[in-house]
């Protein structure tokens, strides 16, 4: 008869990261993955997430958002959800709302105390997730952002524009990170859920978090980055101009969110003051020196500077304030779900045996 001790060897000792995870506070983890026309990546991505979290000692779920894909992505997602179990949850958007809205939909659907986001193109490696979560909870942080230090992308179309953008964003927002564009990030749910994302705001998440928490609770962790295996990027360099406009919005809301009148009022008063000085000078020319000012271009410039100053104060404050109220009202979302009951389904969680 075979000795059961010989037939069943002892399991390998736990690694340092596994021991660190065991000592963390009790929590639940949600992994959020937005996908758009990535049918070939679905099965290997889901398998890789399960491999990376195979020994994770706390309950976790995988929330995959289909961003209105026009290929077979939805069917592949449904097949994977059926294969792996109810902890794999599929959120389907009615059309393509772009990456930021898809990420927001996943964050809204997530039920964990910790939320991790990553791309679905297999360039982010889920094996980094436990280490990032451990640092988030151990150091009492609100965000641990991934840093693709050895980025596997094209130099001219991806790396160089990204480096320029990262330095510009860091300089304007004051949140010093090396890589704003990495989708692999770990958040405390109660913090990220206080931020609403729209436009191209997903790359500015660290800056937006700085409006609800201190930058001292934001850290960066070097992560693996792999070359794309299937297809090509669906969210490419064409978004550059939208990103620039969103950066202006980030700057405004970081510094003037609670006092928009100071920003627009400052610009309006500057224009109004310039216009008033021009008109005062022309008034002296007219009534003191007796000059003819009716055909002088400076008269039109002064007049329109005053009008623009008044409009800048009134229209700007009203428009920006109303827009922010709309997006933060709680009832307004920038996307529509195909099945509104998705958020309440599949209460199961995955946990290592």
Residue 220 within any structural domain of the chain? yes
Pair (234, 314) in one structural domain: no
Of 146, 118, 122, 133, the closest CA to residue 29 belongs to: 133
Instruction: Count how many domains the chain has.
Output: 2
Pair (247, 296) in one structural domain: no
**Mean pLDDT computed over every residue of the chain:** 80
Average pLDDT over residues 155-162: 59
Pair (251, 290) in one structural domain: no
Average pLDDT over residues 179-201: 86
pLDDT at residue 258 in the model: 63
233, 255, 277: which is the final residue of a domain?
A: 255
Statement: residue 184 has pLDDT above 90: yes
Pair (299, 163) in one structural domain: no
Residue 345 within any structural domain of the chain? no
Pair (103, 128) in one structural domain: yes
Residue 347 within any structural domain of the chain? no
Q: How many CB atoms lie within 10 A of CB 325?
A: 10
Which residue has better confidence, 72 or 258?
A: 72
Pair (189, 285) in one structural domain: no
Pair (80, 139) in one structural domain: yes
- Spell out the residues 6+ positions from residue 102 whose beta carbon is closer than 8 angstroms to its own: 34, 35, 36, 65, 67, 93, 335
Name the residue range of residue 172's domain.
Answer: 10-255
φ/ψ of residue 14, rounded to 5? -65, 150
Statement: residue 210 has pLDDT above 90: no
Residue 88 within any structural domain of the chain? yes
Average pLDDT over residues 276-305: 85
User: Residue 237 has which token pair?
Assistant: 């360099």
Pair (114, 137) in one structural domain: yes
Pair (124, 213) in one structural domain: yes
Residue 36 within any structural domain of the chain? yes
pLDDT at residue 195 in the model: 86
Instruction: Write the DSSP string, 28-92.
Output: -EEEEEEESS-HHHHHHHHHHHHHHTTT--S-EEEEEEE-S-SSSHHHHHHHHHHHH-TTEEEEE
CA 260 to CA 167: how far, in whole Å? 26
Pair (59, 118) in one structural domain: yes
Beta strands 185-188 and 143-147: pairing type?
A: antiparallel
pLDDT at residue 48 in the model: 94
Pair (180, 297) in one structural domain: no
Average pLDDT over residues 89-110: 93
225, 240, 255: which is the final residue of a domain?
A: 255
Split at pLDDT 50, 70, 90, the class of 156 is low
Residue 196 within any structural domain of the chain? yes
pTM of the prediction? 0.74
């Amino acid at each position: 008869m075979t000795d059961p001790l010989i037939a069943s060897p002892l399991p390998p000792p736990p690694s340092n990261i596994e021991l660190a995870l065991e000592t963390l506070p009790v929590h639940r983890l949600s992994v959020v993955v937005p996908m758009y026309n990535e049918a070939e990546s679905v099965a290997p991505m889901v398998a890789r997430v399960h491999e990376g979290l195979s020994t994770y000692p706390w309950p976790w779920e995988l929330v995959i958002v289909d961003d209105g894909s026009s290929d077979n992505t939805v069917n592949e997602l449904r097949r994977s959800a059926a294969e792996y179990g109810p902890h794999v949850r599929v959120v389907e958007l009615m059309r393509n709302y772009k990456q930021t809205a898809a990420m927001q939909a996943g964050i809204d659907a997530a039920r964990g105390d910790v939320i991790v986001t990553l791309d679905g193109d297999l360039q982010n490696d889920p094996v980094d997730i436990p280490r990032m979560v451990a640092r988030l909870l151990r150091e009492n942080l609100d965000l641990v952002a991934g840093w693709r230090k050895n980025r596997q992308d094209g130099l001219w179309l991806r790396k160089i524009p990204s480096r320029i953008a990262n330095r510009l964003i860091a300089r304007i927002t004051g949140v010093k990170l090396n890589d704003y564009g990495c989708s692999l990030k770990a958040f405390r749910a109660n913090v990220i859920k206080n931020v609403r994302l729209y436009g191209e705001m997903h790359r500015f998440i660290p800056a937006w978090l700085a409006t609800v928490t201190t930058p001292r609770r934001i850290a960066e962790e070097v992560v693996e980055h792999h070359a794309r295996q299937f297809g090509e990027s669906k969210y490419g360099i064409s978004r550059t101009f939208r990103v620039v406009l969103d950066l202006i919005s980030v700057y405004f809301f970081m510094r003037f969110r609670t006092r928009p009148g100071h920003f627009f009022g400052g610009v309006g008063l500057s224009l109004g003051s310039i216009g008033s000085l021009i008109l005062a000078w022309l008034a002296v020319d007219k009534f003191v020196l007796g000059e003819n000012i009716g055909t002088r271009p400076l008269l039109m410039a002064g007049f329109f500077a005053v009008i623009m100053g008044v409009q800048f104060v009134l229209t700007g404050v009203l428009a920006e304030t109303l827009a922010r109220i709309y997006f933060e009202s709680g009832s307004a979302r920038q996307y529509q779900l195909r099945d509104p009951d998705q958020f309440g389904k599949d209460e199961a969680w995955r946990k290592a045996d």
